[in-house]
Amino acid sequence: MLWFDARSVHVDVGGEASDESSRYVAIYHRLLKLESLIYDRGGSSDASSSSSLAVGDGGGDCDSLDFFPLDGLRVGVMYDDVSLADAAAPRASEASVAAMDDARFRITKYVRSKLGDRTTLRFVRVPTTYYDHDLAWRARITKAPSEMHIAKTIVMENTRAPPEVKDCSNPKLSKYYAVMVQYARRLNTDRVRKYLAGMNTGVLGSKFFNPRLCPEELSEQLTGFEKGAVVPLAMNTDIPAVVAKHIAEDLSTVILGGGHVDLKLHLPVSHLLELLRTRGDDDALPPFIVDCTE
């Protein structure tokens, strides 16, 4: 069943949801075509010309997609009351729309495999000019509760790791770490270094730890996500996660990269931390909560 009104577009499919289902893929592609139409229409400041497709609560300047993992498959696409004139957002190409579809599918499949129906993923599609604007504008466009709720994931490489350390098999002594920090705070790499060295006291000296920003091409190879799109879920490599203390302890929700540079993901912090526990529930295993920002 497909239906839409002034605020939403919904598809409900009975039966068990499966990534093997051709219906799943077909529905996503149809939704994306409709999404592109609504996004383009949302750029109009003439309410009379766009209200049938893009009237919302006026809470932000973007359109958003909510995925509700309920029985069978239910996908809801919610669009806010938008005037994208100040965003000067060009129309997304067909290839870009398809890439967004792939990213949402990939992340949703991963989260459902771990948490089932216990969480709701909210993807927000942002203008392609998103990173040209300041943090206050980004918070408004993503409907973040505050600037502090917007975070990024950066891949760091231990450039002084012993020669035998070449991968992420040992989370306490890994070649790479996925570090999550708020945009509004500055990462202190020396605190990360001291934390990693502290986990290896008696095993290796501090001289073997020197976390540095991973080259962009290598980061994309390890994660499967380009710069501005990195999310610490469904990565190509199971990279141990380091989460800034202010994210883990001060926030209930965080906005991360959404797998595509034009997508951002709202996720409860408690669920994020659970998803990052890929190697067991021992507190000595990732995610490592580190006071690493200023």
CB of 216 within 8 A of CB of 227? yes
In angstroms, the CA 13 to CA 17 distance is: 8
What is the residue extent of each domain of the chain? 2-141, 147-257+268-290
Q: How far is CA 188 from CA 29, 183, 192, 197, in A?
A: 42, 13, 7, 15
Type and span of the H or E element at 96: helix 94-115
Q: Which residues of 191-221 are buried (b: 16+ CB within 10 A; e: fewer)?
A: bbbebbbeeeeeebeeebbbbeebeeeebbe
Per-residue pLDDT of the chain (294 residues; tens, 9 = 90+): 333 333 333 333 334 444 444 555 555 555 555 555 544 444 333 332 222 222 223 333 344 444 333 333 333 333 332 333 334 455 567 788 889 999 999 999 999 999 988 887 899 999 989 999 999 999 999 999 999 999 999 999 999 999 999 999 999 999 999 999 999 999 999 999 999 999 999 999 999 999 999 999 999 999 999 999 999 999 999 999 999 999 999 999 999 999 999 999 999 999 999 999 988 777 778 999 999 999
pLDDT score at 246: 98
**171 CB contacts (<8 Å, ≥6 apart)?**
240, 279, 285, 286
In angstroms, the CA 173 to CA 245 distance is: 20
Rg (the chain; Cα; Å): 20
CB of 151 within 8 A of CB of 183? yes
Which of 289, 273, 283 is CA-nearest to residue 115? 273
pLDDT score at 75: 35
CB of 160 within 8 A of CB of 269? no
pLDDT score at 26: 55
φ/ψ region of 112 (left if φ > 0, alpha if ψ in -120 to 50, else beta) reads: alpha
pLDDT score at 280: 78
φ/ψ region of 161 (left if φ > 0, alpha if ψ in -120 to 50, else beta) reads: beta
**216 CB contacts (<8 Å, ≥6 apart)?**
227
Type and span of the H or E element at 179: strand 176-182
CATH (one of 3.40.47.10, 3.90.960.10, 3.40.50.2300, 3.10.20.30) for 147-257+268-290:
3.90.960.10
